[in-house]
């Protein structure tokens, strides 16, 4: 529910509305839009009759939410959320870059990648320590030793460490070593896991499921925020369609749609969307042009020998070229209004 106060509403009038909402078990918050005070409230218990609020002094308008998600809605929080994790920042008009291998393989590999991507301007280091693989015989990741390697590499090169958690049992170790917890596409609707990462104080990068609607992505984010963690970064990584030329189909329209519906930052994963490294640069630049808050790109010292997703991983020189193009285009990017 959203209550719009008159432009000249007094503190006493605003307080009276807040007290009324709290009396019904709601959790109100205050923001300002176009010179008016907005009081937004998540109604989880007793329904509130609008006439009870309309009759209060200083109230200009009252209307119900039009979306099933509340806390992640732009109606509830009109201002963009800006999330910082170490040197990385997402939201607020910038373009953050997270880069690294699909899987952490050994200390030399993750350190070499961290050194290169940091030198090229990336602010986050990605790398899988726990790998959800389609085949049970594929490389499953190094686990906690991999997390330690990532932490050391990230610290050595001033990067934020970003990696996926697949189950509740992995969250404790991940919180110890990581700056950002990633919930992968396969776990987007693992509601117990969403609640668990929502109980941490770490930013969460939430990937859209391959067959999920945007409303379902935002409702998944709602689970995390409702559990107590407002620091959610959404990630569009391609959806499954009938097209087979690429691994997935990048839903580039998701960026302006999400920005209209939600205050949360959204980044693009062009590597998993394309599945082929030759398309990654074009999709990254498209993400920048359409107003995304950043990208997450896979980079490997020798993709031909990668234990996971080598076909979509960039060589070092390709990543350097990509970052040069990003810097050039970023000079001309203006905020995209929706």
Same domain, 164 and 251: yes
Q: Is pLDDT above 80 for 83?
A: yes
- Residue 182 and residue 138 share a domain: yes
The neighbouring-strand residues paired with 24 are none
How far, in Å, CA of 315 to CA of 112, rounded? 12
Cβ burial of 147 (10 Å; 0-12, 13-18, 19+) is buried
User: What's the alpha-carbon Rg for the chain, to the nearest Å?
Assistant: 21
Would you say residue 185 lies in a domain? yes
> HSE of 119 in the Cβ direction (CA atoms, 13 Å)?
11
Q: Are 24 and 17 in contact (CB under 8 A)?
A: no
Helix (H) or strand (E) holding 326, with range, is: helix 316-330
Tokens of 47: 């329904």
Residue 336: the pLDDT is 55
Do 44 and 143 lie in one domain? The reply is no
Is residue 94 domain-shared with residue 162, that is, in the same domain?
A: yes
Neighbours of 334 (CB within 10 A): 7
178 and 122 in a common domain: yes
Q: Which residue has the tokens 């990385």?
A: 88
For 34, which DSSP code? T
Strands lying side by side in the sheet with 59-63: 27-33, 36-42, 2-5, 59-63
Determine, yes or no, domain membership for 77.
Answer: no
Q: Indicate whether 223 and 172 sit together in one domain.
A: yes
Q: Which residue has the higher pLDDT, 62 or 296?
A: 296
Q: What is the pLDDT of residues 278-304, one digit of tens each?
A: 999 999 999 999 999 999 999 999 999
- Write the pLDDT tens digit of every residue in 199-219: 999 999 999 999 999 999 999
Q: Are residues 115 and 194 in the same domain?
A: yes
Separation in Å, CA 206 to CA 38, 92, 117, 198, 331:
28, 19, 22, 11, 28
Residue range of the domain that includes 196: 83-330
- Centre a 10 Å sphere on the Cβ of residue 35 and count the other Cβ atoms it contains: 7
CA–CA gap between residue 328 and residue 322 (Å, rounded): 10
* CA dist., res. 303 & res. 39, Å (int): 52
In a domain, 46, yes or no: yes
Per the domain annotation, does 312 fall within a domain? yes
pLDDT band at 7 (very low <50, low <70, confident <90, very high): confident
Q: What is the pTM of this model?
A: 0.88
- Are residues 277 and 144 part of one domain? yes
Q: Indicate the number of domains in the chain.
A: 2
Same domain, 278 and 152: yes
Does some domain include residue 137? yes
Instruction: For residue 155, give every residue at least 6 positions away whose Cβ sits within 8 Å of its Cβ, in sequence order, or none.
Output: none
Task: Please indicate, yes or no, if residue 73 is contained in any of the structural domains.
Answer: no
For residue range 322-331, list pLDDT tens digits in order: 999 999 999 8
Residue 34 has pLDDT above 60, yes or no: no
Using alpha carbons only, give the angle 275, 276, 278 rounded to the nearest 5 degrees: 145
- Residues 271, 132 share a domain: yes
Q: Is residue 200 part of a domain?
A: yes
Which stretch of DSSP H or E encloses residue 290? helix 280-290
Is the same domain home to 56 and 189? no
Instruction: State yes or no: pLDDT of 4 exceeds 60.
Output: yes
CATH of the domain at 192: 3.20.20.70
Torsion angle of the four alpha carbons 266, 271, 274, 276, in this order, in degrees rounded to the nearest 10: 170
Are residues 122 and 55 part of one domain?
no
Quick check: is 69 in a domain? no
Asked whether residue 338 carries a pLDDT value surpassing 70, the answer given is no
Residues 100-130: tens digit of each pLDDT: 999 999 999 999 999 999 999 999 999 999 9
CATH number at residue 30: 3.30.70.1140
Q: Determine contact, residues 289/256, Cβ cutoff 8 Å.
A: no
């Amino acid at each position: 529910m959203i209550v719009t106060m008159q432009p000249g509403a007094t503190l006493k009038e605003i307080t009276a509305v807040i007290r009324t909402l709290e009396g019904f078990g709601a959790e109100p918050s205050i923001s300002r839009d176009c010179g008016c005070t907005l009081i937004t409230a998540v109604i989880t218990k007793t329904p509130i009759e609008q006439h009870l609020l309309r009759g209060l002094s200083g109230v200009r308008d009252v209307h119900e939410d039009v979306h099933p998600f509340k806390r992640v809605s732009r109606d509830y929080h009109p201002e963009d959320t800006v999330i910082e994790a170490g040197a990385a920042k997402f939201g607020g008009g910038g373009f953050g870059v997270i880069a690294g291998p699909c899987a952490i393989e050994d200390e030399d590999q993750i350190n070499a990648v961290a050194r290169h991507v940091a030198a090229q301007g990336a602010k986050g280091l990605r790398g899988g320590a726990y790998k959800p693989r389609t085949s049970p015989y594929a490389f499953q990741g190094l686990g906690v030793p991999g997390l330690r390697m990532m932490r050391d590499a990230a610290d050595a090169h001033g990067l934020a460490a970003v990696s996926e958690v697949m189950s509740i049992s992995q969250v404790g170790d991940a919180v110890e070593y990581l700056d950002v917890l990633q919930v992968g596409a396969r776990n987007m609707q693992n509601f117990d896991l969403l609640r668990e990462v929502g109980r941490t104080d770490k930013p969460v990068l939430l990937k859209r499921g391959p067959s999920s609607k945007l409303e379902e992505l935002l409702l998944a984010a709602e689970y995390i925020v409702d559990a107590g963690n407002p620091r959610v970064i959404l990630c569009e990584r391609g959806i499954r369609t009938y097209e087979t030329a690429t691994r997935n189909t990048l839903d580039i329209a998701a960026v302006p749609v999400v920005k209209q519906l939600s205050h949360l930052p959204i980044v693009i994963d062009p590597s998993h969307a394309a599945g082929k490294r030759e398309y990654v640069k074009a999709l990254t630049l498209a993400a920048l042009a359409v107003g995304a808050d950043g990208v997450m790109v896979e980079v490997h010292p020798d993709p031909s020998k990668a234990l996971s997703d080598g076909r979509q991983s960039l060589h070092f020189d390709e990543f350097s070229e990509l970052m040069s193009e990003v810097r050039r285009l970023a000079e001309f990017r203006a905020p995209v209004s929706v």
